[in-house]
Amino acid sequence: MGLPTIVSPYLATAVLDGGVGLLTSAARGRINVMTASFFAESSHLPVLLRVAVAPGTLTHELVSESGWFGLSVLCKGQEEWALGCGSGSGREIPKFDRWGIDYDLTSNGVPLLRDALTTSECRVVARVPLKDHTLFVGEIVASFTQTRRSFRDPLLVSELRTYVGAPMMTAPC
């Protein structure tokens, strides 16, 4: 299929480096997947994940409506998914089909990826409005490690710059 040739303003201006994941959502018979890099574990007991999603996106609409989301952490070698799922709206592109991403629906209707480092199903327990995003906090109800990928390194935001021609931001420490 080939990597998309895009120049991403986000990748060009991102200050922090971190993992790249795919955020999955579903409601009313519609499913979507989008690239996420604003996510982290927020609590151990119970285990909570937080993820930031821009209002106006299909993912925001589906997570808000259903109260559920899936988060899959990608590994090196999955750049095509990261770039492809972050380069268009799920309203216009059926991204699971377009990028050949296999998934299973949970009993709660959450699409979970079959092939990622880890995949978690989360029930939304809090929403925090931010300036240009909503922070969804989800309690993990199920989480899986993909043993075929567990030896691989996670995909990092900085590694995607290589594929889209975005320069690395440098700043004095």
Pair 70, 110: CB distance under 8 Å: yes
The average confidence (pLDDT) of the chain is 83
Q: Which residue spans within 13-98 are E strands per DSSP?
A: 21-27, 30-36, 39-43, 48-53, 68-73
- Cα separation values, 84 from 19, 89, 113, 160, Å: 16, 10, 15, 11
Q: Name the helix (H) or strand (E) containing 157.
A: helix 157-164
Six-digit token string for 158: 């900085």
Identify the residue with better confidence: 2 or 89. 89
Place of tokens 């106006």: 56
Examine the pLDDT at 12 and tell me if it is beyond 80.
no
pLDDT confidence tier of residue 69, bands split at 50, 70 and 90: very high
Q: Which domains does the chain have, with CATH numbers?
A: 9-164 (2.30.110.10)
Q: What is the pLDDT of residue 169?
A: 41
pLDDT digits (tens, 9 = 90+) for 85-119: 888 888 988 999 999 999 999 999 999 999 888 89
pLDDT digits (tens, 9 = 90+) for 17-32: 677 889 999 999 999 9
